Amino acid sequence: MAALSELVEVGFTWDGQLAPREERAFVTLERQRGGLHLTVEAPYHGDPAPDAPVGSTDGLWNHEVVEVFVTGLAPAGQPVPYLEVELSPHGHHLVLDLLGVRQRVRTREELDYRATLLGTRWCGEAFVPWQWLPSRPNRFNVYAIHGEGERRRYLAMTPVPGPQPDFHRLERFTAWPF
């Protein structure tokens, strides 16, 4: 029987160095009736909130955020479909359907999401309907971004080494746990 939940640790820098324990984020992916429940538990770094109302916020990757990417199977020679879910400690979110690397097809505005600041930590909970995930999910990765300017930090569950952080390196993703 397939697992009902998977706890993942975002414990490496994007290029593969072990992140300090106090900087690591944790995300639980839980299969539920009708969709995937995501729970984020992460340190709160105090980055400013986006200058936008709470809710769907384009460009959220420029702020403190945890991101979950899920790919689906694509026929040979076809672009890979994937979903990108971004969650911030301030209640902002961004959900993108992509077809091929960085090729946005749709922005999903309505996400059931809430975030709670707990001193030096934050918790976020989101519910992603199954129909939002790509057909036949097969790989995923989880990231955490925080800091500004030269203090900007990019963490990954599975590192994506290269000349600069690139979270759309789908070939580096890990097998989907469900």
What pTM was computed for the model? 0.96
DSSP of 2-69: --SEEEEEE-EETTSPBPPGGG-EEEEEEEETTEEEEEEEEE---PPPPSS-SSB-TTGGGSSEEEEE
Domain ranges of the chain: 5-175
d(C-alpha 22, C-alpha 81), whole Å: 34
Q: CA 138 to CA 159: how far, in whole Å?
A: 18
Q: Containing H/E element for 116? A: strand 112-118
Assess whether pLDDT exceeds 90 at residue 172: yes
Question: Roughly how many angstroms between the first and final C-alpha of the chain, as a whole number?
Answer: 10
Q: How far is CA 93 from CA 73, 84, 124, 141, in A?
A: 25, 10, 10, 17
| pLDDT of 69 higher than 70 | yes
Task: List the one residue out of 149, 158, 139 whose CA is nearest residue 14.
Answer: 158
Q: What is the pLDDT of residue 2?
A: 61
Look at residue 43 in the predicted model and tell me its pLDDT. 99
**What does the alpha-carbon distance between residue 136 and residue 87 come to, in Å, rounded to a whole number?**
23
More confident residue, 155 or 76: 155
**What tens digit of pLDDT does each residue of 26-60 get?**
999 999 999 999 999 999 999 999 999 999 999 99
The pLDDT of residue 110: 95
CATH T-level fold of 5-175: Immunoglobulin-like (2.60.40)
